[in-house]
Structure 1
């Protein structure tokens, strides 16, 4: 289930975000976290499985276009290849569906497109 980011999740969020290719530098990572904390249009959600925070998604809301730009998506490497990233995309779309259309940015486009293609693929009988 999604848990909205709070300051007491900072270290967990930084750890998960550090798995993103563009977030390896500590200064960049800290600036990203600060933006999520200070800018109400930037929203960060952690994914909780049982007692563990195992994934994270971050969006930038664009209310004038009714879009939410998926800026960050990452799953703890120990939980990868289990469909969790795909589920994060589905759950995020459901969470924001009443106000926003979720779209990827340049960094998340390839993964997002794979998830959408899987959703739309015909089921073979």
Structure 2
């Protein structure tokens, strides 16, 4: 299930976001987390089963919600967690906003959308 990020999950969130290729150093991670803490247009969600296994971050721009961070613990990849997080974002924001990806997440979001479309056929 998706839960909203809160400060007590900071280290876990930083650890998950560090798996993204474009997040290469601690300073960048700290800046990203600070933005999620302080910018009302940015929201970070965590995927929790027994443990927290994934993170997905979005920002609102006009009538769009842009998925800008998606990360899953490497031990739990290829089990559908990333796809489920994206589907939940579409469900959560889809009535009010158009949910789309940014450059960093575009290929993954497209792959998830293609898999969802082919599984519905």
Above 0.5 in TM-score? Answer: yes
User: What's 1:34 paired with?
Assistant: 34
| Unaligned ranges ≥5, structure 1 | none
Runs ≥4 residues deviating over 6 A? none
User: What's 2:60 paired with?
Assistant: 61
TM-score (norm 1): 0.92
SS in 2 for 1:69: strand
SS in 1 for 2:22: helix
- In the alignment, the residues of structure 1 paired with residue 45 and residue 75 of structure 2 have an alpha-carbon distance, to the nearest angstrom, of 19
Q: Deviation of residue 123 (structure 1)? A: 5.4
Matches within 5 A, 1:10-89: 10-49=10-49, 51-62=50-61, 64=62, 66-89=63-86
Count of aligned positions: 121
- In the alignment, the residues of structure 2 paired with residue 120 and residue 78 of structure 1 have an alpha-carbon distance, to the nearest angstrom, of 26
User: What's 2:103 paired with?
Assistant: 106
Which stretch of structure 1 is more off in the superposition, 96-105 or 67-76? 96-105
User: What's 1:5 paired with?
Assistant: 5
| Unaligned ranges ≥5, structure 2 | none
Instruction: Give the number of the structure whose alpha-carbon radius of gyration is greater.
Output: 1
TM-score (norm 2): 0.95
Cα deviation per residue 1:9-50 (whole Å; 9 max; x = unaligned)? Answer: 10010000000011121101100000000000000000101x
Q: CA RMSD in A?
A: 1.3
SS in 2 for 1:107: coil
